[in-house]
Chain A
């Protein structure tokens, strides 16, 4: 018997060793994601850390040497359509999603492909804006991505093969998904898009291991709901197609056990007679309990929006000293042209000011509601309002440098004529109730702006001749990386806004932002633009 046990022990030990050799490499844990960018070789979640700051602690690249930054390699997808991804970086491998729900594992040293995944998408999807995708979430040895036909996939990190495939909603009636999942504890949190097609948006949490749904939070309240229900008409079913899409990753506060998500505009976008009321929880920031999906608080940026101003921007979490008090805040530069500093324990606005020209609201009142200006309601003749439907900024990531207490955002100075008309809803057909045009002689332009989140004072700006849709990355060495609307990736001095370096990428950074990581002792800057990923670094020491 003892001999038998000894034999069993040997077999178990061998099996254990075998298992280890079969699964080498890192298993990403919750603690790893909580640690954010502490491990300099990694980039594990959309904004780099749960605060969504897109601020790296790396310091090899400095204002003094960044002028020597040179491309090391370029990865071409060979797929039509632009990147909107934030790549995940683990153990010298880049994991990126692309157009048409392609995805790749790429050698971070050489830019060579390790594996490729391609989803066989149906050809009858209803998409407002193409088969874009914003990136992976990661946990254990799995990658998580959403798909244009509104599914959530778990992929094996080593091979790119599917572990499981969950339907979020029926793509045939207009649902889609593009968001990079937020992985928190044992859950993968995602949302659906499709407000142009009359969907009712929601945020879902799935068990990361099994793929089973844990909870759902509807971003459009039902008229019967105790909270929010009164903001939709009771005599029609407008809420059933009320929009509230989710397509930009939220953030997470472990101390409060809350996730924060910005929600999309109500539908139809412009003609709003059928949806009287504030239309909660569209164009809002919602704070949800991670374990239950219960709503802790909400703040609506644009009650009863009629300008297609989704609030799907990145809610950055920042701890600030305001008037001598330590405040837990969320920073939110909104498409409606206002920049908000909000108490993230209560959802109350601390300060809100325009960061671009805005003509629709005079200010945000002490009750948190915008004080509207007349003449901005879309109609059949077109009403001119600033900003345009693209907004004062949009879903491209801002960045926050806590050591400098500066918020960096790509700003758009734009106006549009907003038209509205009554439109009959047909399932699966586009349902916007209007459109926009550019006013004659309107000259749009853009800028990178640095704003103090306590005073909302603009510290500096760097102007672009055309509007940009670039995200922003900052580093602890005092650098800002961002792009204009013409394909230049640039480095700036965080303190002064002085331009220090640029490189023409050959394509716009369309809603992408840089990421940065260490590999073999060198700091890399990784930039998705067009259908290419380019890695930059200082010249290698000989």
Chain B
């Protein structure tokens, strides 16, 4: 039976790390963690559990972290497992999600999470982890020159593209390279490109924030957020590409790309608390 394995996050299913697709349960509030089940994980080393964990991983995690767990849109977990990260921390991260990133909290059974951890532990020694490389200072300059008008870091910059304040923990290096070189390959929800043509022929281009049969909500390229009734529009043009231009070789050479990615990997969250 699985009556409705619907999930409120279904629309985001391709973008999130852990969408609870198993049951499509309505999403309850995040449960407080009492103790940490990963401190005594009975599935570690158990072949059957590891196989279950692999399937759970593939259905819930692989879309962002890659089928081989070396990262896609999300971080490289194989590399992470080669560090001294504790299983309790992994469990906590899966359970609570990572605020400010696409990684949501999970309300799936503890056992499912423990089996996924058992699978990740079995992946074995990964290839040498990619560390931040290149000239970070040059990368920061490049970012200020080419990216900041659309991307925000630590409360400064544009809003048309995703906030990158924590991109260093939410994207693998390979993913960053791919998204800079060919941003149209994956456009995250809320950033899909649309052009609205009003009845009097004006064109409004921007990022689609929401839409239903009768209305559409966008942030236009001047960062104005606004909703439009489709009955007042002549046309809605859905564009396949990203609002972000592709930074190909001619626009950003390999060295500069390396520096820019090096800088981005240092972005791991800003302290915005007022003291």
Contacts and interface: CB of A to CB of B under 8 A. Distances in A.
Given A129-B24, A465-B213, A488-B213, A382 B1 contact: no
A178 B111 CA distance: 26
Contacts, number: 139
Chain A contact-residue range equals 35 or more
A421 B51 contact: yes
A435 B7 CA distance: 14
A401 interface: no
Given A419-B55, A422-B48, A465-B212, A438 B14 contact: yes
| Interface-centre pick from A382, A437, A469, A511 (highest chain B CB count, 10 A) | A437
A419 B119 CA distance: 16
B270 interface: no
B73 to A, nearest CB: 10
Interface stretch (A135-143, A190-198, A341-349): A190-198
Contact of A437 (B2, B3, B60): B60
A265 B52 contact: no
A269 B55 CA distance: 14
Contact of A435 (B10, B22, B48, B211): B22
Interface string A392-426: 00110000000000000000000001011111100
B178 interface: no
B54 interface: yes
Given A245-B1, A312-B1, A421-B51, A490 B24 contact: no
A40 interface: no
B2 A196 contact: yes
A254 interface: no
A149 interface: no
Contacts of B188: none
Contact of B11 (A269, A441, A466): A466
B25 to A, nearest CB: 6
A310 B6 CA distance: 14
Interface in A94-129: 128-129
Interface string B1-30: 111111000110110000001111110100
A247 B55 contact: no
A58 interface: no
A487 B3 CA distance: 20
B209 interface: no
**Interface residues of B: mostly helix, strand, loop or mixed?**
loop
Contact of B2 (A195, A438, A488, A502): A195
A129 B59 CA distance: 18
A486 B212 contact: yes
B175 to A, nearest CB: 14
Nearest to B108: A430
Contact of A265 (B1, B21, B22, B55): B1
B87 interface: no
A247 B212 contact: no
B3 A429 contact: no
Contact of A129 (B5, B55, B211): B5
A243 B211 CA distance: 38
B26 A129 contact: yes
18 contacts: A128-B2, A129-B23, A193-B1, A195-B2, A308-B5, A312-B3, A382-B59, A390-B5, A421-B54, A430-B109, A435-B21, A435-B56, A435-B59, A437-B58, A437-B62, A465-B211, A466-B11, A504-B214
Interface of B: 1-6, 10-11, 13-14, 21-26, 28, 48, 51-52, 54-56, 58-60, 62-63, 109, 111, 211-214
5 cross-chain pairs, A with B, having the tightest CB-CB distances, nearest first: A245-B1, A486-B212, A195-B1, A264-B1, A435-B59
Given A419-B55, A504-B214, 6 more contacts: A243-B1, A308-B5, A430-B109, A435-B60, A437-B59, A437-B60
